[in-house]
Structure 1
Amino acid sequence: MRIGQQPGGAHGSSAPVLSDRVTGSGPIATLTRRVLAYIALTKPRVIELLLVATIPTMLLAHRGHVDIRLILATLFGGWMGAASANTLNCVADADIDKVMKRTSRRPLARAAVPTSHAFVFGVTLGLGSFAWLWWQANLLSGALVVATILFYVFVYTLGLKRRTSQNVVWGGAAGCMPVLVGWAAVTGTIGWPALALFLVIFFWTPPHTWALAMRYKEDYRAAGVPMLPVVATEQVVTKQIVIYTWLTVAATLALIPATGVIYTAVAIVAGAWFLLMAHQLYSGVRRGESVKPLRLFLQSNNYLAVVFCGLAVDSVLGWHPLF
């Protein structure tokens, strides 16, 4: 969800943070800036993945039926979990956020919020997420959110991110958890379609992230983060992007037995488009051309959105699966 930040696909933005848009020095302006700073800690744009992944998964789990109350309750609980993970990530990464140009305006990097307050805020959101999902859905969905927060903070942020170029490969598992949470909220279990969707996001994360890191590798190098584009040649990186793109598309096709003709058509067409973009990037690097990896990063977001939207429409119609 990302729960939490997608480990790379959402490493921040160079755009001004929300609180920078508030002018004035009166008490209202000061309070507004403080509130917006806390909101910025949660990385609102990152949580878009929560919406993209959770809703279609819940619709597939309850194929042909739409339980608006449960969907909204799960989204709110998931949002709190994602906000918790992102806030605690900001606490752990405050030192490198100050070094990287794209993240230097984050609240903790510019001391807009005390670190201790941000920590309490993140922990409170996490506890609230668990309690809310247990109350509104079931214990399994709440437990999965807690596991995701702990994995994202301790395994990815504190363990892998600064130590290995494979950080986003394994750390990306945190970003796959919304599908398991959504499925569990509906069924109280974890079914094989949820695991297939987990793999879709798991394999999608490296090409999505490495394309961004190719564009901003000097930022990562300055911060001492060994992203693959920092430690490997562009040809090696783009070859890995192609491999993981193929794995992503294969995972989407593995879900076809649980879906209908709409999802099948969308997965095939969108997959061919995603593969074409990845191969074009690889071919450009091999030919020594000036490439634009950020284009693949941006379009990979569209690819994932299209696939999951296709799944949502297919699930709502409730037609019989193909197999």
Structure 2
Amino acid sequence: MAEITATVRPTREEVVPSRKRVKLPAWLEVAKPRLIPLLLATTLGGMALSEGWPLSSPRLVCTLGGGALASAAAGVLNCLWEQDLDGRMARTSGRALPSGRLSPTSAFIGAIACTLAAAMLLVSGVNCLAAGLSLLGLCSYVLLYTALLKPRTSQNIVIGGVAGAIPPLVGAAAATGHVGLGGWWLFALVMVWTPAHFWALALLLREDYRAVGIPMLPVVKGPVVTARAIKTYGWITVLLSSLGVFALPSGGAFYGVMLLPYNARLLQLVDRLSLDPDSLVNAKALFRWSILYLFGVCLLLILSRTDLASGFTHQVIQLLSLPTGVH
């Protein structure tokens, strides 16, 4: 008699191991330092898309330092707003505020200090536009996304993603004093990248969100609809990312060629998830790659502004402009 073997799916605990083993100091934990590097990478990407690239070392340091401080302040204010919610979820109940390792007063003072330091650093070392955009990003994350949209609509991250898309504008403003077409292109790219990235994570954590009544898309519509939406945004991300060839002041051909494997891998993982929306393994793989993808795009933007990339682009243009019959 043939034996029927059921496919045993790994549990959420197996796919998403606890971070309790990595214990950060309470004051650092609430600043959400894991989010800061990617925000700074997109800031650099916004700079690389500007004619003002490369920036002087002092201006570069002030821009990145101010951005990191503003991001830290936003993280702390987010933790303050959601401390009661975090206390009701097993995954987050051990965080600094709900566990009592850090007092709300201390956290609030730290957030204000980081905000003021960010503003002073950006105004004095960069320009007022960069400072204003950084503060706009902070406010949009805390007020628009965390307080207004997250608890009310399953499309929270689609609209609230504007907060994470502002750093490229800060980078562009720091480089030239204004935001050009390239900065707005990267802003749009991060906006359309965000839903697929975040919904992949939400698939992993949907039971946590369900338990506390947060209407994330996987909770409201289920994995199948979520995977379909992820696929849509994945394709939009790939198509929009390709326009970086035209957004770059130089090195566009180098960027376009090097981008191909990044986009191919993203589409592969998006398609794999759409075929098996209940797979936590597929959701985790897509979530991880989406982070590497955006880091990779920003790295390619920076590398595209080098002399080597410009030379490559020039050779490609010459090759394409050869008249028919010339070998």
TM bucket, shorter chain: 0.7 to 0.9
- Residue 70 of structure 1 aligns with which residue? 59
For structure 1, the 5+ residue unaligned runs are 1-11, 22-35
| Paired letter, 1:265 | V
Give the deviation of 1:268 after TM superposition: 2.8
What is the distance in 2 between the residues matched to 1:66 and 1:43? 27
Q: How does 1:116-265 map to 2 (within 5 A)?
A: 116-259=105-248, 260-265=252-257
Aligned-pair Cα RMSD in Å: 2.2
Whether the 8 Å CA contact 1:84–1:125 is kept in 2: the answer is yes
Q: 1:272 to 1:299 in 2, by over 3 A?
A: same
Please give the secondary structure, in 2, of the residue aligned with 1:88. helix
Q: 1:289 to 1:57 in 2, by over 3 A?
A: closer
Which residue of 53, 73, 78 maps to 1:89? 78
Whether the 8 Å CA contact 1:14–1:103 is kept in 2: the answer is no
Q: 1:13 to 1:308 in 2, by over 3 A?
A: farther
- Report sequence identity in percent: 35
Whether the 8 Å CA contact 2:244–2:255 is kept in 1: the answer is no
Whether the 8 Å CA contact 1:266–1:307 is kept in 2: the answer is no
Give the deviation of 1:217 after TM superposition: 0.5
What is the distance in 2 between the residues matched to 1:208 and 1:290? 14
For structure 2, the 5+ residue unaligned runs are 1-15, 318-327
The worse-fitting range, judged by mean Cα deviation, of 209-218 and 96-105 is 96-105
What is the distance in 2 between the residues matched to 1:157 and 1:100? 17
- Residue 16 of structure 1 aligns with which residue? 20
Give the deviation of 1:45 after TM superposition: 0.7
- Residue 5 of structure 1 aligns with which residue? none
- Residue 259 of structure 2 aligns with which residue? 267
What is the distance in 2 between the residues matched to 1:268 and 1:53? 19
Please give the secondary structure, in 1, of the residue aligned with 2:35. coil
Q: 1:166 to 1:103 in 2, by over 3 A?
A: same
Report the TM-score when normalising by structure 2: 0.84
Report the TM-score when normalising by structure 1: 0.85
- Pair 1:294 & 2:298 matched: no
Moved over 6 A (4+): 320-323
Greater CA radius of gyration, 1 or 2? Answer: 2
What is the distance in 2 between the residues matched to 1:112 and 1:88? 16
What is the distance in 2 between the residues matched to 1:13 and 1:208? 19
Q: 1:187 to 1:290 in 2, by over 3 A?
A: closer
